[in-house]
A and B are shown apart, each in its own frame.
Chain A
Amino acid sequence: MWMRENPVLNRELLTTLRSPRSFVLQFAYVAVLGILVYFYWPAGVDDESRMVGPGVAKRLYDIFFLGQFCLVALMAPTFAAGSITGEKERKTYEMLLVSPLKPHTIVIGKLLSSLSYLVILILSSLPLMILCYLLGGLLLSEIARSYVVLILAAGTFGLLSLACSSAFSRTSSALVVSYLVVLPLAAVSVALTRADDPSTRDFASVAVLPPICLMIWTVVGIVVNGRLLRPTDVGGQGGGVVDEEEEMKYAIGVVIDREAFPDRLFAPAKRTDLMPDGTNPVLDKELRSEIFSQGTLMLRVVIQVSMLLSIPLMAGLLFLRSDLAGYYVAYVVTFNLLVGPVFSAGSITQERERQTLALLLTTLLTPGRIVLAKLWAAMRVSTVLTFLLTEQILLAYIMLPELRNRFWTLGVFLLIIAVTCLTTSAAGLMCSALARRTSTALVLSYMTLLALFVLPIGVTWYLQGVSEDLHIAPGALAVLRITSPYAAAASVPMHTFQGADRWTTGNLEVVAPPSAIFPGGVDIPVWACFLVACPLIGLLFAGVACLVFRWKWWRAGDGL
């Protein structure tokens, strides 16, 4: 009943796995991995330019394992976070609940169906991983261990995302909270399973992770089961109304006060009288009415989790090792990468989904006013939430002498974060104009941003393995990274770590990472390139959003 006769699982498998898209995606995935192996593969005796070094197999294995671990951490929430909210959004949730299916059948069906494709993708890389083994320098047990970790991670991340999906009513909220829970866990797991000492790695992978995962599965499974068995009010008459004051009474931790600073920056108080003349009604609606329309839970969780994570990171990356301040900025950027699209990717698709777009389009509002209001509202919320995490950086720059003397780097860091805020919101808005559903728009925006922010780093890492053979200079490789805020933050010249006496030292030794060297020998720091390139990309995204909205929707489309 759990597996073979599970109608939820059968239905999902039939609709997802039999589509040609699934096959094409799997083919593309294996092809990309194959290409990665091909360029690292030793050439024949005639071509001596490509040699197998002792680290080549290890580097390939790292790329495969880390790449696939990132894939699991990013894709498991994408597949699972929409599994129950999708039912809610399609209004089929009630039908599922009142069916004779037991809650655990639904949970298992949803979990397996959302993860089956991901597991198939992971397993399809196994033959290529065996090729890496043939290069030498790898143990079979190492490969087996990595696959055990990947499968455990897929199950755990999937189930956690499913729990988020059962708690929220919108896929976007479930997805962002899933990421906030999953990504820190992923970082800890990677750190544990990649320890330098092989015995520690094996111990962590075989003796620590499986029982912890089992514990998480049991607890989360019971919670989701209970939620499906005794659902809270599902779409009853008036059930959609959120009473903010009532909700706040039972809120744990953060309480959002719309009258107080800084809360009023992202959630201004509701109006008590008519809007003044000249107000952009869309902007007013987005900021004052829509932000809490699904309750305050998502925002509170986002603020709580991000603040909680910032404390150890602040201690480690700002106060103990202030030379790693760029890595704290990378954390802030990651937070914005997650949160930015959430507020903008639904801007246009949500108007369609709840059937208000026709009402909006038949007014006298121009597409420019609508799109700019949506962008500004989304950017304002995500920027304020992101900059809440920069207080820690300010504190470090005020308190630590080695940072205090180099205030300009603070300015660069804050600019990197601000530019990232613009780009993530604009990317979400563009995808919202292009896609037909919010969940698609959100996943599309994450993919766009990962391609822009993270992929260049992966590509550089891969190319470093063959750079000597292909005669690529580090400066030329750095050019590839100019769209990545991570690379930009890491390229800001910081002082070198000087141990315990750093408080007293007057002369700081500052090391500048390699600059980007453009054709013609022009040499510009990566962060400066980023600060020019990324706003342009953000504006390009916003422009595309505006044009697509105008031609696809505003100027009489082919149906809403």
Chain B
Amino acid sequence: MIEVINFSKHYGDFTAVDHLSFSIGRGEIFGFIGPNGAGKSTTIRFLATLLRPTAGEGRIAGHSVTEDPMAVRRVIGFMPDDFGVYDGMKVWEFLDFFAVAYEIPRAARRRVIGEVLELLDLSHKRDDYVNGLSKGMKQRLCLAKTLVHDPPVLILDEPASGLDPRARLEMKALLVELKKMGKTILVSSHILSELADFCTSIGVIERGRLLAAGSIRDIQRQIRTHRVLKVELTEGETDRAAAILQADGSIRSVEAYGRSITAEFHGGDEDMGRLLSRLMGDGVPVRSFAEEPLSLEEVFMMITKGIVN
């Protein structure tokens, strides 16, 4: 649905994005992650037809971003990272303005505006002035604006930046809802925990270069040199349990804190079962025994430290 082919953008001597290529399939949610200034917004603005590339091409739903921007604008809903609102307009007027700008006939507009207000939980703010809304409400309003023409592709640049924790969770729930509606979503963020739960794939960008792209599981598998086992005990027999684990050939190192033990594990699933039976057989009071997944933060840190590539 979205394809970026060898996109580069230079500002004088500075290279903002360097030969970036990735693609996003229909119905996917692609999390675009990277530190501030990595080139996320540059790439997103290029896809939103707002930035001329130095080289490369982008295609959305088969339309060229550079050759046919009008066709692209028809199929995308774009929410910039920093945006303003028109002064002196009410919420419904703001949405009506964009609905007319997207050529939605008057007969359908009333229904569409009602639906997006309902979806974004803004119905009670319908007659409020937009420049009086809180930051969270403005973010919702902007998302509502991107949905008025029911685009199949959503390009959202840092949709949750600057929001309080509650608004952040609500924004996350909204994106999950949009995913259920079958939208293809490209969403960027530098706060990784925002994306981990619902992204079907991610792209990691730093200094204008794509370091890794694919599903979170694939990337985790790609970068993982070992697995991490976490064992929790009900009573304080930590030293004995640590000694049992240390003695096993699949364990390289063990660290114990209070009643929990973390071990670097280099075996398969059978080895893991064997280890658990052994602990139980030796009468160690195990409360939980599980592999600790790598968080997106850890994945990101490992990638950007150069472990991959």
Contact = CB atoms under 8 A, between A and B. Distances in A.
Interface in A268-294: 270-271, 274-277, 279, 281-282, 284-285, 289-294
B98 A363 contact: yes
B109 A274 contact: yes
Given A362-B50, A362-B73, A557-B51, A355 B84 contact: yes
B76 interface: yes
A297 to B, nearest CB: 14
A274 B100 CA distance: 9
Interface in B49-72: 49-52, 66, 69-70
A490 B117 CA distance: 59
Interface string A361-374: 11111000000000
Interface stretch (B87-95, B170-178, B205-213, B253-261): B87-95
B51 A277 contact: no
A513 interface: no
Nearest to B97: A281
Interface residues of A, number: 39
Contacts of A361: 49-50
Contacts of A290: 86-88
A237 interface: yes
A359 B98 contact: yes
A354 B89 CA distance: 14
Contacts of B76: 362
Interface in B90-132: 93, 96-98, 100-103, 105-106, 109-110, 113, 129, 131-132
A363 B80 contact: no
Interface string A339-363: 0000000000000001110111111
Interface string A238-266: 10111000000000000000000000000
Nearest to A355: B84
A552 B109 CA distance: 32
B88 A363 contact: no
Interface string B34-45: 000000000001
Contacts of B73: 362-364
A279 B96 CA distance: 11
Interface string B4-33: 000000010000000000000000000000
Given A275-B100, A358-B80, A364-B74, A556 B88 contact: no
B134 interface: yes
Contacts of B145: 359
A293 B105 contact: no
Interface string A359-394: 111111100000000000000000000000000000
Contacts of B88: 242, 289-293
A559 interface: yes
Contacts of B102: 363-364
A291 B87 CA distance: 9
A275 B106 contact: yes
A291 B60 CA distance: 37
B146 to A, nearest CB: 9
B93 A271 contact: yes
A363 B99 CA distance: 9
B256 to A, nearest CB: 50
A558 interface: yes
A356 B132 CA distance: 16
Contacts of B50: 358, 361-362, 556-557, 560
B156 interface: no
Contact of B131 (A241, A277, A555): A241
Contacts of A360: 101
A240 B132 contact: yes
B70 A364 contact: yes
Given A238-B132, A364-B73, A559-B51, A358 B106 contact: no
Interface in A522-549: none
A557 B106 contact: no
Nearest to A271: B93
Given A238-B132, A275-B96, A364-B101, A356 B106 contact: no
Given A241-B132, A560-B50, A356 B84 contact: yes
B48 interface: yes
B83 A356 contact: yes
B277 to A, nearest CB: 60
A23 B100 CA distance: 50
Nearest to A276: B106
A257 to B, nearest CB: 17
A362 B83 contact: no
Contact of A556 (B52, B97, B110, B134): B52
Nearest to B85: A356
A302 B29 CA distance: 53
Contacts of A241: 129, 131-132
A159 B51 CA distance: 43
Nearest to B96: A274
Contacts of A285: 86, 89, 97
A289 B93 contact: yes
B110 A274 contact: yes
B269 interface: no
Given A358-B78, A363-B98, A556-B69, A277 B48 contact: no
Contact of A358 (B48, B85, B93, B100): B48
Interface string A290-333: 11111000000000000000000000000000000000000000
Contacts of A356: 83-86
Nearest to A281: B100
Nearest to B53: A556
B164 to A, nearest CB: 13
A148 B244 CA distance: 96
B134 A237 contact: yes
B270 interface: no
B96 A355 contact: no
A354 B52 CA distance: 22
Contacts of A291: 88
B59 to A, nearest CB: 15
Given A241-B132, A358-B78, A559-B51, A279 B87 contact: no
A242 B149 CA distance: 30
Nearest to A560: B50
Contacts of B100: 275, 279, 281, 284
B83 A355 contact: yes
Contacts of B106: 274-277
Contacts of A289: 86-89, 93
Interface string B228-265: 00000000000000000000000000000000000000
Contacts of B134: 237
Nearest to B110: A274
Residue among A279, A356, A359 having the largest count of chain B Cβ atoms under 10 Å: A359
Nearest to A244: B88
Given A364-B101, A555-B69, A355 B80 contact: yes
Given A276-B106, A281-B96, A359-B78, 12 more contacts: A241-B131, A242-B88, A285-B97, A290-B87, A293-B131, A355-B82, A359-B142, A363-B101, A364-B74, A365-B101, A556-B51, A560-B50
Interface of B: 11, 45-46, 48-52, 66, 69-70, 73-74, 76, 78, 80, 82-89, 93, 96-98, 100-103, 105-106, 109-110, 113, 129, 131-132, 134, 142, 145
* 6 nearest CB pairs, A to B: A293-B87, A354-B84, A293-B88, A363-B101, A238-B132, A355-B84
21 contacts: A241-B131, A274-B113, A284-B97, A354-B85, A356-B84, A358-B48, A358-B83, A359-B78, A359-B142, A359-B145, A361-B50, A362-B73, A363-B101, A364-B74, A365-B101, A556-B49, A556-B66, A557-B50, A558-B52, A559-B51, A560-B45
